[in-house]
Chain A
Amino acid sequence: MNESIGSTTDIVTHLQERFPDAVQPAPAPYQGILVAQDRLVEVATYLRDELDFAYLSSVTVVDYPQPLNGMPACYDVVYHFFQGRGGPLTLHVQADRENPVVPSLVPLFPSALFQEREAWDLMGVRFDGHPDLRRILLWEGFDGHPLRKDWKEVYYEEEHKPFGSRFPDGRPVPAESRSPFGDNLRYPPGWSPRDWRPLVDVWGYAPHDELARQEDPNHPADRVVLNMGPHHPSTHGVLRLLVTLEGERIVKLEPMMGFLHRCHEKIGERNVWLGNIPYTDRLDYVCAMSNELPYVLAVEKLLGVEPPPRAQYIRVIMAEFTRFLNHAVSIGFTGNDLGIYFTAMLYALEEREHILDLFEMVSGSRLMCNYMRFGGVAHDMSEEAIALARALAFERLPRYLDQLESYFTDNELFKARAVGVGVLPPEMAVAYGCTGPLLRASGVPYDVRRAEPYFAYDDFNFDIVVGQNGDVYDRYLVRVGEMRQSLRILQQALNRLPDGPIMAGRKSATLKVPAGESYGRIEAPKGELGFYIVSDGGPNPYRYHIRAPSFVNLGVMGEICWGHLIADVVIILASIDITLGEVDR
């Protein structure tokens, strides 16, 4: 690594010198660099091998039908790269509007595997050289690419909220009356469901059938293609795992998702800025509080406001309680998936109830908290809430954690199933863009709270918990360790909770955000949760993209399951810890 290169601006200048004809700074309100399409792979290779940008966090596309903010009419493919500490470096590649094709980065960064498929699915940008460019969230026969600006949903009413039909002369019209079928349904012109025969392999069986035919003559067992899910109690929601088995061993495993897809990003682009906050709660419904944080962080970056200290502390308290409850539930589910039934789960749910009581007390809702606002939080923590938080953080939760360790950590049954199962080597974890406990269990000490501190995290003492072997057991240990660290942070934050206002400035329902782009990311319980937003200076987001940790982490699932028994798939999946609301968005 070249030691002289530090800040992002230095890197931009350095890259410009290194690739004078391929790299130029992105136009004014944008950050990072603009790379010529045909040199992208070269620049990315240089970034990875020479400048230590090992981590491709997010790949997404912004549609510009007209020139905007200094961007010409194009499809702007946006990449976010990070180093172990520092970054981000934003890469913009402009793809042609008529035939948008850019080279794929999957050979360099496998973390693009799912994200490029998603970009193709929702935006219709082709990635040349992608090994398996199929739709991922929608089904293979879907008409159009919904995130393009000219794509209209069935219930389309107006380009942006608030809709004019609501006031001052608002008489209710049911949304479904706007569709000829009275349903959320639309056929492309000239298409009839009766005559339709799938031209393509809609359900994704072809590669598996192919594999099943090539049986290994030395292996006595038959090859079988098996569907696990989408309705399976151990897939934590509606996830379909398509598996080819040889006897009981896995030859190929492929997660298939999209059953909960609701085009959250399209909804977000219709909403006003403020209106997106309650929608983010619905992403990872287990940890709603921390979902709101990266979004408000990204918008605050554009607005240039800084929440007052008390608000920052309250945010940290909520985020750490969320981490605790997520890990507790996740370990509980691991027990459930192991077949030790619901006891461990119920113990976790009991603690979760108390934390949810606290959330309900401060925000008004147990699960869909809607608590963060731009520049602060919605309500102050009352004395009663602080007393409850103290009782939990200082007494109740440590006690639970001790008990959890006493019955789980050395439990022979758990160890027999977990040690050495689903090993994820650190290089593979980084290449696949894994984050959160999954990454740290493999021995990579990467945590956004340290790598790019946000809110008041700099004020607290805490350790980054790292595993050694990267197996299911280590992921469990990392989670327990992180719960201990969360309690440490909570105790410090509650002891030092400053007085003062909880909002910077006044709350405003109609907010205009200055033009530009921003990427807000936090260390959510499941990994790095990032929101990429583009503003055109108006009251609505121009682009609103979510880099969901569950979604990206799931990309490595096929690799780490290879060669394991089918019974281990459930526990490997449980150890990755996904929420389908976030995977499918």
Chain B
Amino acid sequence: MYIGWNILKSLWITFRRFVESYIDDLRWLFKKGFGKRYTPETLPVRQHPLTKRGIFTVQYPAERLPLPERFRGFPFLVYDDETGKLLCTACGTCARVCPPQCIWIVRATDPQTGKPLREPAEFYVDISICMNCGFCAEFCPFDAIKMGHEIEVMAFDRADLLLDLEKLRRPASYDAQIHPTDYAQKQARKGE
């Protein structure tokens, strides 16, 4: 038969999925009560490949998926919480390794002797060019530049996307908060 059994079977699969999305809502309603399904705590269950049923989309931006620790947003510069001093030593590794060459660094010099200092006077990252590759963070020998978790970056003008030292600074506690495992490992290495 030309229009046959298999077409009905396909339609049945789609129909079942459609119904399932409602059934799961009802199941949660009876088991857990009203308004319990769409909460941040249930996200791991709703998103897990083996436990999810029914609708698994989230209502962004009211609800957000957690980003994994390694997520690469745009780079930021880490400073010490207490002293407020940047960890960066202006070694230039990140500017050299950056594939689209969007990092610009001016090395500070001692005003008296004119000798180069181990800190940047100016630091720019053009995030309209940055390809989020993460090489700068990976190859920085001082863990002074890190990939942030900010994803909502927008501007009306391209010039606003050229971040300078002020806009790039983040405290080390922020780094510890978004990269907990990485930070713990680093502390452990320091303690040795």
Chain A positions within 8 Å of B, measured between CB atoms, are: 161-163, 165-172, 174, 271-272, 274-279, 343, 350, 354, 360-365, 368, 370, 378-379, 388, 391-392, 395-396, 403, 406-408, 410-413, 416, 507, 509-510
Q: Is B70 an interface residue (CB 8 A)?
A: yes
For B91, the closest partner residue in chain A by CB is A167
Q: Are A388 and B104 in contact (CB under 8 A)?
A: no
From the candidates B9, B49, B93, B98, name the one contacting A407 in the complex (CB within 8 A): B9
Q: Are B162 and A170 in contact (CB under 8 A)?
A: no
Bound CA span A317–B183, Å: 28
* Residue of B2, B49, B93, B95 with most chain A CB atoms under a 10 A cut-off: B49
Q: Are A168 and B131 in contact (CB under 8 A)?
A: no
Bound CA span A403–B90, Å: 56
Q: Are A509 and B101 in contact (CB under 8 A)?
A: no
Q: Are B49 and A396 in contact (CB under 8 A)?
A: yes
From the candidates A162, A363, A370, A407, name the one contacting B96 in the complex (CB within 8 A): A162
For A406, the closest partner residue in chain B by CB is B9
CB neighbours of B40 from chain A (8 A): none
Chain B proximity of A454: nearest CB distance (Å):
24
Of B19-27, B31-39, B75-83, B133-141, the segment with at least 4 beta carbons within 8 Å of chain A is B133-141
Interface residues in B42-71 (C-beta closer than 8 Å to A): 48-50, 56, 68, 70-71
Q: Are A170 and B124 in contact (CB under 8 A)?
A: yes
CB neighbours of B122 from chain A (8 A): 170-171
CB neighbours of A378 from chain B (8 A): 138
Q: Are A411 and B7 in contact (CB under 8 A)?
A: yes
Q: Are B103 and A166 in contact (CB under 8 A)?
A: yes
Q: Is B180 an interface residue (CB 8 A)?
A: no
Q: Are B103 and A343 in contact (CB under 8 A)?
A: no
Known: A172-B126, A412-B4. A360 touches B135 (CB 8 A): no
CB neighbours of B138 from chain A (8 A): 378, 507
From the candidates B14, B92, B132, name the one contacting A167 in the complex (CB within 8 A): B92
Bound CA span A363–B105, Å: 27
Known: A271-B99, A278-B99. A411 touches B72 (CB 8 A): no
Q: Are A407 and B6 in contact (CB under 8 A)?
A: yes
From the candidates B71, B106, B139, name the one contacting A168 in the complex (CB within 8 A): B106
Bound CA span A172–B163, Å: 10
Q: Are A169 and B106 in contact (CB under 8 A)?
A: yes
Known: A171-B122, A395-B50, A407-B10. A361 touches B106 (CB 8 A): no
Known: A162-B96, A364-B134, A368-B131. A167 touches B105 (CB 8 A): yes
Chain B proximity of A407: nearest CB distance (Å):
4
Bound CA span A436–B144, Å: 44
CB neighbours of B98 from chain A (8 A): 162, 166, 275
Known: A364-B134, A509-B135. A166 touches B99 (CB 8 A): no
Q: A170-B106, A412-B2 are in contact. List 12 more A-B contacts (CB 8 A).
A: A167-B107, A168-B90, A168-B92, A271-B99, A275-B135, A278-B99, A360-B70, A370-B134, A370-B135, A379-B70, A392-B49, A395-B50
For A370, the closest partner residue in chain B by CB is B133
Bound CA span A362–B68, Å: 9
Known: A170-B124, A364-B68. A411 touches B6 (CB 8 A): yes
Q: Are B131 and A412 in contact (CB under 8 A)?
A: no
Size of chain B's interface in residues, with CB distance under 8 A? 45
Give the top 9 A-B pairs by smallest Cβ distance, nearest first. Answer: A170-B104, A275-B99, A167-B92, A407-B10, A278-B133, A364-B70, A168-B107, A364-B72, A162-B96
Bound CA span A170–B124, Å: 8
From the candidates B3, B70, B97, B103, name the one contacting A361 in the complex (CB within 8 A): B70
Interface flags for B146-189 (1: CB within 8 Å of A; 0: not) read 01000000000010001000000000000000000000000000
Q: Are B14 and A166 in contact (CB under 8 A)?
A: no
Q: Are B116 and A168 in contact (CB under 8 A)?
A: yes
Known: A167-B107, A370-B133. A407 touches B13 (CB 8 A): yes
From the candidates A161, A170, A407, name the one contacting B105 in the complex (CB within 8 A): A170
Bound CA span A171–B126, Å: 11
CB neighbours of A275 from chain B (8 A): 97-99, 135
For B56, the closest partner residue in chain A by CB is A350
* Residue of A378, A395, A407 with most chain B CB atoms under a 10 A cut-off: A407
Q: Are B139 and A170 in contact (CB under 8 A)?
A: no
* Residue of A165, A276, A278, A510 with most chain B CB atoms under a 10 A cut-off: A278
Bound CA span A370–B139, Å: 14
Q: Are A161 and B133 in contact (CB under 8 A)?
A: no
For B96, the closest partner residue in chain A by CB is A162
Chain B proximity of A82: nearest CB distance (Å):
32
CB neighbours of B13 from chain A (8 A): 403, 406-407
From the candidates A379, A412, A509, name the one contacting B7 in the complex (CB within 8 A): A412
Chain A proximity of B36: nearest CB distance (Å):
24
From the candidates B93, B101, B147, B162, name the one contacting A163 in the complex (CB within 8 A): B101
From the candidates A172, A362, A379, A406, name the one contacting B104 in the complex (CB within 8 A): A172
Chain A proximity of B57: nearest CB distance (Å):
10
Bound CA span A378–B133, Å: 12
CB neighbours of B90 from chain A (8 A): 168
Q: Are A412 and B3 in contact (CB under 8 A)?
A: yes
CB neighbours of B50 from chain A (8 A): 391, 395-396
